[in-house]
Chain A
Amino acid sequence: MNKILKKQVLNPTVTLMEVEAPLIARKAEPGQFIILRVDEAGERIPLTVADFDREKGTVTIIFQVVGATTEKLNHLEEGGFIHDFVGPLGRPTHTEGLKKVAVVGGGVGCAIAYPVAKKLHEQGTEVHAITGFRSKDLVILEDEFASHSSRFVRMSDDGSWGEKGLVTDALRKLIESGETYDEVITIGPLIMMKFVCAVTKEFGIKTVASMNPIMIDGTGMCGGCRLTVGGQTKFACVDGPEFDGHEIDFDEAMARGRTYQPFERKAYEETCNLFKEGN
């Protein structure tokens, strides 16, 4: 049981929680994830570590309410407990030796992109942050990105925040204007990462994408999180979650991500109804 020390609503569907987890906080690095269960009958879901405080012994998670489990999680309050919380899992983001990096985040993926940008910025790497949201009311972590990058590009689908357009447009513009990067790190929806990788491939820039597939144990036992990278089967939980974006089979990953969609939709509706009845 892990105590929720702080809960903050970042936008109508995205919530931040600071969770007491001293053992995990001691070890966590950007790029790693935790697995949680909300209650005794709950499913196990992976969530990437959004921040950590080694002194306070806390781990921060940021999640979007997309299904039954995140809906239930969102109903927990400060002082409440998460039933199971295990980690840190996966390999940390490789940051050593990078001089200049573009961090490209989309939607709630920015929650994962942020600790990476922060670590790079703090170690002296020049960070260009490009973040995209559907509209202004969905924006998260604006100040955090602004203070941990030397260049911060804001994009929105409808033009209500920053420039109107996609993160790929912004990235292409920067590269074409002469910016050079050792590496591009991209975290967001699969379709966005797929197109970010298509752009960087054109320019031959090494790109790392952070994958978040369906997972059960998170320690290399079930194989549910497998994906094809460079023609080989890899397990996101132990080999990743970050992989060479130019080698990932995104179409396969997108199809696999939809395996339980009808089940998930039904479970989500049932959970929402449950909470409505409770009110």
Chain B
Amino acid sequence: MPNMMPTKHPMPSQEPDVRNRNFSEVALGYDAETAIDEAKRCLNCKQKFCVSGCPVRIDIPAFIHEVAEGRFEEAYQIINLSSSLPAVCGRVCPQESQCEGVCVRGKKGEPVAIGRLERFVADWHRAHSAEKPAAPAPNGHKVAVIGSGPSGLTCAGDLAKKGYKVTVFEALHLAGGVLVYGIPEFRLPKSIVQSEIDNLTALGVDVETNVVIGRTITIDELMEQYGFEAVFIGSGAGLPKFMNIPGENLKGVYSANEFLTRINLMKAYQPDSSTPIQHAKKVAVVGGGNVAMDAARCAKRLGADVTIVYRRTEEELPARREEVEHAMEEGIVFRFLESPIAIHGDDQGWVRSITCQKMELGEPDASGRRRPVPIEGAEEETPMDCVIMALGTSPNPLIKTTTKGLETQRWGGIIVEEATGQTSREGVYAGGDAVTGAATVILAMGAGKTAAAAIDDYLSKK
């Protein structure tokens, strides 16, 4: 008999007033007993809506069934068939708009906690299985992967499992892409990312850090001089967007990318780090996505009073619901229907205040969301000493400008065939934010997976 409890087992977490002062992981994870009981909530539906809601098509009812039976390693092996980063996805996927969003149990009550179960299984495997994956017999083909974020790691993992000799090129000094420079430790511990990368190296993948493709080596050189038969571009999002309002280059104005990189990659929150960061008192974070939530929660942990300024309402916030809830619990103030129009500085060039324009919702725009419209004359100035812009990114021009014949959209995204990830250049594939603009970890992984299959197809016919 399934467990008909209408709600998910709550996630054990650090108390809000404790965790908003440290960088340790917020959610502590289910124990085995809770996981089994939660797994029993799954009805094992004939029509598996959850699987179609998953961008990498994990056989969700099958792995949950194994959990319900207490066979955690078997559960892991099922997930592992479709996802190469389960410990990551269990933590950062927007399940409410994917698998859990279509779960039948969600119609009356809460869906099965698929994400929490995925995380449990991945963590259990990591804690109980010392065995590293074995490298398969090489098939003699060489593939280059540009970028070691979610799309690159997934593509590299899938190809390596098939015997390809894969080299991943990373521009930074540490592999992991947005998983290490963007997503904070308290949401995704870096030891988890490192263990996923260690698994890849065990599969025979080479990871070359400190190589900027487009500068140190070009794609043409990879193919002509280094003998790579195919290339996957997973270079991620690029230049941070700003609002083009007065005062944006004052001291104390950061892009979320810079703020997060200082904290996550460079560990500026640790006393022995040699990378500085401003310890502000009053911080405004502009934007409503996951990146805005991450930046706000980091600023809070550095001791600031933090306000998120978003031009629409709570309903339109693009961030994962859980991130919004966590941020609110941690004491972050939300100011909805407002948009900054100016940042003011003191005589030393530091941020002193911001002026926000109040908005109301008008007609829906191209995204289907109601467009915020300024309310004439409704402006308010608020003291702030730091402003963080979390407005998304536009694609990095480095690869586009140095690769002959690589076609891009007018806004800069690389053009690919959706079913394969193939670009306008033969043997060159792309996926993730470099193609779509800023999106999610799981969509990038899906694209890496698609491209890996297409590259395998291409090279086995060659």
Contact = CB atoms under 8 A, between A and B. Distances in A.
Interface stretch (A5-13, A126-134, A158-166, A226-234): A226-234
Nearest to B389: A223
A220 B239 CA distance: 5
B212 interface: yes
A220 B210 contact: no
Given A23-B216, A87-B212, A258 B396 contact: no
B242 A223 contact: yes
Interface residues on chain A, size class: 35 or more
Contacts of B265: 216
A260 B258 CA distance: 14
Interface string A227-244: 110000101001000000
Given A43-B274, A84-B210, A238-B398, A216 B251 contact: no
B413 interface: no
Contacts of A233: 242, 244, 248-249
A258 B250 CA distance: 11
A223 B239 contact: yes
B276 A264 contact: yes
Contact of B212 (A43, A219, A226, A255): A219
Contacts of A68: 274
B216 A216 contact: no
**Contact-residue size bin, chain B (C-beta under 8 Å from the other chain):** 35 or more
Contact of B249 (A83, A221, A252): A252
A217 B134 CA distance: 34
A87 B213 CA distance: 10
Contact of B258 (A69, A87, A223, A249): A223
A259 B278 contact: yes
A160 to B, nearest CB: 35
Interface in B169-184: 171-173, 181
A86 B212 CA distance: 7
B268 to A, nearest CB: 9
A106 interface: no
Given A87-B212, A87-B215, A89-B212, A41 B398 contact: no
A42 interface: yes
A35 to B, nearest CB: 9
A188 interface: no
B349 interface: yes
A224 interface: yes
Contacts of B275: 43-44, 216
B173 A37 contact: yes
B257 interface: yes
A217 B240 contact: no
A249 B250 CA distance: 12
Interface in B271-289: 272-276, 278
A30 to B, nearest CB: 15
Interface of B: 171-173, 181, 209-212, 215-217, 236-240, 242, 244, 248-251, 254-255, 257-258, 261-262, 265-267, 272-276, 278, 348-349, 396-398
Interface of A: 23-24, 27, 37, 41-44, 68-69, 83-89, 216-217, 219-224, 226-228, 233, 235, 238, 249, 252, 255-256, 258-260, 263-264, 267
Per CB-CB distance, the 8 closest pairs between chain A and chain B, nearest first, are A255-B349, A223-B255, A222-B258, A263-B276, A86-B210, A260-B276, A223-B240, A84-B173
